[in-house]
Amino acid sequence: MKRQLFLTMAATVVAIVFADCNKEKVKIVEPDAESISIQASIDKMTKVSYNGDASSFTAGDSIIVYGWTGSALEVPAKLVVDGVINTFDGSSWSAKSPMLWNNNTDSHYFVSVFPVPASVADLTAAPYKLDESDYTASDLLVAANLRGVKSTDGTVNLTFGHVMAKLNVNLKFRSEWKTVPEIESLTVSAKDSASVNFLTSGVTAAGPALSVALPKTAAPAAGFDAGFSGLMVPQEGVRSVVITINGQEYVYESPADIALDAGRYTTLELTIGKERIEMNSISIADWTSGQEIKGGEAELIVPKQVDPNSGKIPDMGQGWNLDF
């Protein structure tokens, strides 16, 4: 989905001055050559929704804009536009303070971020923390125009794109389950913090791997019994998915990294039996389309438990009953 929104930081002023009743003199005040006008477009989806809904900017949304001169990838200490917040009222945008060109000869470079971060000390290394309770606020969108824009070029074009990854997990239960069981949770062993370079949209995952919970979708995908979906920090090394059913953890270990790429989503399809989980397929796509990569299967890893009858840890190779 693409929608274009226009942000005008200053308006053309036309003043008509009447000299007297017999003569008219018309004075036209030219547009302020120092003001910056921005055209902001949203590439594909805007705000994430793990239920699959695509939405656009709504009244009250704000973006923050930075601009500088010199070098595209070297941000100086003093900015031309130093974090000016622009707010949408449902039909137009307004800047909290004026955005002005430094001069009409230098090339200017721009970066904009949505949602507005609490603070940004370094545009090339901004801290990020995934909030599992608010995926909309965690859906970081960044727009960068680093081709070099001059005041004579007119409107500055900014196209926002997703910086985080998205993971969908679709589950199907084998017929050996008498009924579809209640799934208590689905978590992924992954990092939930990162450093983000707003100029390049590069993401460097940080911190230890934690149990990142994915919310359950309102309705499963066609042909599946349940679905989970949520944002993830782009990173490598993610292989473990834990599904908790009736207090029992079913652990899926992928034989290869589960791809989590910025601006793309990965869909993992799993079939759960009583004693093992099979991966049907895994597909990687951008926010609208993608290619499918065939998958394999993996054994269910069940945490060691004490057999209530013998008081010993059972040997799974001996066929301990896993019925619930």
Question: 100-112, pLDDT tens digit by residue?
Answer: 999 999 999 999 9
48 and 70 belong to one structural domain:
yes
157 and 242 share one domain:
no
Q: H or E segment at 167?
A: strand 165-173
CATH code at position 55: 2.60.40.2620
164-175 pLDDT, tens digit each: 999 999 999 999
Question: Among 139-143, 257-261, 295-299, whose mean pLDDT is lowest?
Answer: 295-299
Check pLDDT > 80 for residue 39: no
Separation between Cα atoms, residue 86 and residue 162, nearest integer Å: 19
Whether 323 is covered by a domain: the verdict is no
The total of structural domains in the chain comes to: 2
For residue 117, what is the DSSP state?
P
Mean pLDDT of the chain: 78
User: Is the dihedral angle over the CA atoms 121, 122, 127, 133 positive or is it negative?
Assistant: positive
Residues 125 and 73 placed together within one structural domain of the fold: yes
Tell me how far apart the alpha carbons of residues 285 and 27 are, in angstroms, rounded to a whole number: 56
Mean pLDDT over 61-77 rounds to 94
Confidence of residue 120 (pLDDT cuts 50, 70, 90): very high
Q: Identify the domain boundary among 119, 147, 162.
A: 162
Which residue, 137, 162, 187, sits at the end of a domain? 162
Residue 35: predicted pLDDT: 81
CA atoms within 13 A on the CB side of 121: 3
Q: Is residue 324 part of a domain?
A: no
* Residue-wise pLDDT tens digits, 178-222: 899 999 999 999 999 999 999 999 999 999 999 999 999 999 999
Look up the CATH number of the domain holding residue 194: 2.60.40.2630
Residue 155 has pLDDT above 50, yes or no: yes
Q: Which residue has better confidence, 42 or 9?
A: 42
pLDDT at 260 over 70: yes
* Whether residue 154 sits in one domain with residue 292: no
Q: Is the pLDDT of residue 29 over 50?
A: no
CA distance 97 to 83: 10
Q: Which residues pair with 229 in a beta bridge?
A: 168
Note whether 212 and 149 are same-domain residues. no
Give the C-alpha separation, 165 to 13, whole Å. 45
Q: Which residues constitute the domain of residue 258?
A: 165-318
Same-domain pairing of 183 and 155: no
Six-digit token pair at 84? 């000016």
For residues 131-135, average pLDDT? 88
pLDDT at 222: 95
Q: For position 185, what pLDDT does the model report?
A: 97
Cut 0.85: pTM above it: no
What's the pLDDT band for 136 if we cut at 50, 70, 90? confident
Q: Is 111 in the same domain as 243?
A: no
